[in-house]
Amino acid sequence: MSIESLGPLVAGPASAVFCLIFMLAGLYKITVDKLLPMLGAALDRHLRSLDELVATNTADHRAMIETLQRIDIRLSDRDEPNRSAANG
């Protein structure tokens, strides 16, 4: 093959396919080396903040239940003399 016969192939469809393969390989390398670790770190930060939120919410929920139980006890103690007076 001479240069004259290779010229159209190098400048035509074969070079476009080669450029496409080269670009896809570069995109794959960037994705695997840079984007995936960055996304993994972002996901870890997000999950840590969710864990903290759940822990805070659990503590708040327990405090709220305790407070509501105390309120219920106080209200039932306040209501008891009225019931015994009404029954007696």
Distance CA(25)–CA(17), nearest Å, equals 12
Report the number of distinct structural domains present in the chain.
Answer: 1
- Residue 2 gets which letter from DSSP? -
Q: pTM for this one?
A: 0.47
Average pLDDT, 10 consecutive residues per value, the chain (88 residues): 74 82 95 91 94 91 94 85 60
Containing structural domain, residue 58: 3-87
Provide the 3-class DSSP secondary structure of residue 17.
helix
Question: What pLDDT shows up at residue 49?
Answer: 95
Provide the 3-class DSSP secondary structure of residue 41.
helix
